[in-house]
Structures are given as C-alpha cells and as structure tokens.
C-alpha cells in the first residue's frame, strides 16, 4: 500500500482522484455514489444563477473508444435548488468541491458566496467551457478575464479557489499565472478541447449546438502539455484533467506536475467504479515500483529534463 493521500489548496484528499465537473454531478446521490466508489473528492456540475436546461439533444457524440464530443450547454438546476443536492452528498461524508460558472466577475462572486454557504471545501471556477455562448472560455480566454474573475471571487469567500483553465489558448500557462497572482489556490487543467463533428449524409453538425468539446483519451496529451507548462510557471498545486482512464494515465499527469487529477469521460459506460479501479491501479503500480508516497512523484518528469535545441546536431 503506497501513500496516495495528497494535499491541494490546503485540503487533504484521501487519494488524488476527483470526479470531474459535469460528470454525475447534478444529483447529490450521484456525487455520494462517486465518493463511495472511492473518489478522493467530488466536484459538482458547474452551477449558475438560474436553472438552465442546456442544449437540445444530440448533446454527445462518441468517437470509438478514444474520444467523445459533447455540448451539454451547462444544464444545471440553479444555485437556489442545488444546496439540497450538496447536503445529500455531504451527509454521506463526501468531500465536495463546488463548481460555478457565470457571465461576469460579479456573477461569479455572487455564486461563490452562495456555493460556499453549502459547505463545500473549495470552489472550482469554470473559466473554460468551450461551447457555452457568453460563459466559459469566452470569459476565461485572456489573463485579464481570468484575473478579474478570480480576484472578485477570492474577495468574497474563505474557501480555497481553484481556477479551471482552457486548453483553447495560445498560452494556458499564462492564464494559470494570472489566476495565481489573483489569489487562486489551485489550477485545474484542462477543460474540453473545442471540436465539431459533421454527418456527411445529412450535411449537418451532429450535435445540436454544432461546436462542442472533445474529451477522453484523445486529449490526454493536450492536458499533459498544459499541466507541464503550467507547472513551470506557478507554485500553487495543479489538478490534471483530460483523458485519464487508468492508473498509468494518472501517473503521467502527476509526473507532469499535477498533485491531483480529475476523471470525466472514463466514467461513461463503466460508471463511477472506474474511480475505485484507477485508485487500485495507481496503488499497485507504485507498490510494484517501490514508491512509498505518490506526492514524491509530483513533477518528477521535469527533473533533469532540458529542452534541446534544433541546432544541437550538425
């Protein structure tokens, strides 16, 4: 048994696996189920000011077993209804992180206050949904935007604030630096990658919304690159997200610089027992390799690594 517990933003997690936002996150019993299945913590669906039905179906298109496109449209019951769901999960002992999204820094701040009041242990700000007009990436695509939102939220709440960063950026690390300077205590990276699928027999996009977000194994390398670059620029802990479906994937993120990871698409078809499986795989791998503490491996792939130049050879 390796020591899998880690600390992020002042919170000790029994293991580094968090249920990603938007997955099993509308109902308190689902959050509790993910906790019971072995998650180190659960992140709620991103919650907004009002109930929001999301986009019409189709909202999801799967690509083989290596990728998934979705445009849910941030459906959520709204902050007024949601506390009862969090209460159910907390009553079952779950460590809950509350995710919120808004259209302005002020809206984020207001939601943050209400979310904090539910007893969540931290807030994750969704600054990165690639397909919601007026939210998400649109508000999180420049360092200035990120900074404004994080600053407004940090002023309002006592719980640690985690900024969830988009990969759809020339410089995700620059966004993370802006979040850190504005007072964020952690960075989650990444949200989905902007994508689209077209059905050629119908000559139309498959998803009702057209543009969606790519997730699953296809984006693992994209998330790893973001975590890698962010690790070199910030000192606050990083939570890696994107394409993790087994213990080795999780370890790749840890070595790239993540202190914890989130699991999203891997829950599809398998359900939350995937969380327990990945925890076990991580434990087995570390034990097999004689590593006592997972935390010692955070950023391990950076040690001794130098970027070569293209002129290194004749």
Partner 1 sequence: MHRIVEIEDRILETPSTVTWRFPYAEPCAPGQFVMVWIPGDDELPMSLSYTDGPSKGVTIKAMGPTTRHIQSIPAGSRIGVRGPYGNQFDATPRRLLVVGGGSGNAVLAPGVERALRTGAQVTCALGATTERELLFSERLAGAGASVEVATDDGTAGTPGFVTVVAQRLLAEGAFDAIWTCGPEVMMRKVAELALAYGIPGYGSVERHMKCAVGMCDACSLGPYHVCLDGPVFRTEALLSLEEFGRTKRDPSGRRVPL
Q: Tokens standing for 17?
A: 């696996």
Which residue is nearest to ligand FMN, using beta carbons?
A: 22
Of the candidates 19, 68, 27, the one whose C-alpha atom is nearest the C-alpha of residue 264 is 19
Options 4, 52, 212, 244; binder of partner 1; rule CB under 8 A: 52
Angstrom CA distances, 104 to 23, 146, 253, 258, 309, stand at 24, 11, 31, 29, 43
Is residue 129 part of the annotated active site? The answer reads: yes
Which among partner 1, ligand FMN, a second copy, none contacts residue 248 (Cβ within 5 to 8 A by kind)? a second copy
Whether the Cβ atoms of residue 264 and residue 272 lie closer than 8 Å to each other: no
Indicate whether 27 belongs to the interface with partner 1 (CB under 8 A): yes
Indicate whether 244 belongs to the interface with ligand FMN (CB under 6 A): yes
Q: Which is nearer to ligand FMN, 94 or 132 (CB)?
A: 132
Options 6, 13, 45, 231; binder of partner 1; rule CB under 8 A: 45
Of the residues 89, 129, 244, 286, which is catalytic? 129
Q: Shortest approach of ligand FMN to residue 257 CB, angstroms?
A: 17
Indicate whether 58 belongs to the interface with partner 1 (CB under 8 A): yes
Residue 308 to residue 164: CA distance in whole angstroms:
30
Residue 91 to residue 118: CA distance in whole angstroms:
12
**DSSP per residue over 95-130, as a string?**
-EEEEE--SSHHHHHHHHHHHHTTT-SEEEEE---T
Options 16, 33, 40, 98; binder of partner 1; rule CB under 8 A: 33
For 210, half-sphere exposure in the C-beta direction (CA atoms, 13 angstrom radius) is: 4
For ligand FMN, the binding residues in 148-177 under the rule CB under 6 A are: 164
Q: Tokens standing for 277?
A: 């499986």
Which among ligand FMN, partner 1, a second copy, none contacts residue 222 (Cβ within 5 to 8 A by kind)? a second copy
Which among ligand FMN, a second copy, partner 1, none contacts residue 192 (Cβ within 5 to 8 A by kind)? ligand FMN
């Amino acid at each position: 048994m390796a020591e899998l517990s880690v600390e992020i933003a002042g919170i000790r997690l029994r293991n580094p696996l968090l249920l990603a936002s938007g997955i099993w996150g509308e109902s308190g019993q689902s959050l509790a189920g993910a906790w019971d299945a072995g998650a180190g913590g659960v992140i709620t669906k991103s919650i907004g000011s009002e109930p929001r039905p999301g986009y019409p179906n189709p909202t999801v298109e799967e690509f083989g077993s290596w990728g998934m496109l979705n445009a849910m449209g941030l459906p959520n019951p709204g902050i007024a209804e949601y506390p009862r769901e969090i209460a159910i999960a907390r009553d079952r002992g779950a460590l809950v992180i509350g995710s919120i999204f808004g259209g302005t820094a002020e809206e984020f701040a207001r939601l943050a206050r209400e979310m904090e009041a539910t007893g969540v242990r931290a807030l994750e700000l969704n600054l990165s949904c690639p397909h919601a007009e007026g939210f998400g990436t649109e508000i999180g695509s420049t360092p200035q935007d990120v900074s404004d939102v994080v600053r407004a939220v940090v002023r309002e709440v006592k719980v640690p604030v985690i900024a969830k960063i988009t990969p759809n950026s020339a410089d995700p690390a620059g966004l993370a630096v802006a979040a850190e300077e504005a007072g964020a205590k952690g960075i989650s990276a990444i949200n989905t990658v902007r994508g689209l699928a077209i059905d050629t027999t119908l000559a139309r996009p498959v998803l009702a919304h057209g543009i969606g977000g790519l997730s699953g194994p296809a984006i693992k390398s994209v998330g790893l690159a973001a975590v890698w670059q962010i690790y070199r620029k910030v000192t606050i802990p990083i939570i890696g997200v994107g394409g993790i479906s087994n213990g080795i994937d999780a370890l790749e993120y840890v070595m790239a610089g993540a202190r914890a990871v989130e699991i999203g698409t891997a829950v599809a078809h398998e359900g939350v027992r995937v969380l327990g499986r990945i925890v076990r795989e991580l434990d087995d791998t570390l034990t097999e390799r004689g590593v006592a503490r997972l935390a010692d491996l955070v950023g391990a792939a950076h040690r001794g690594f130098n970027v070569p130049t293209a002129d290194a050879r004749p």
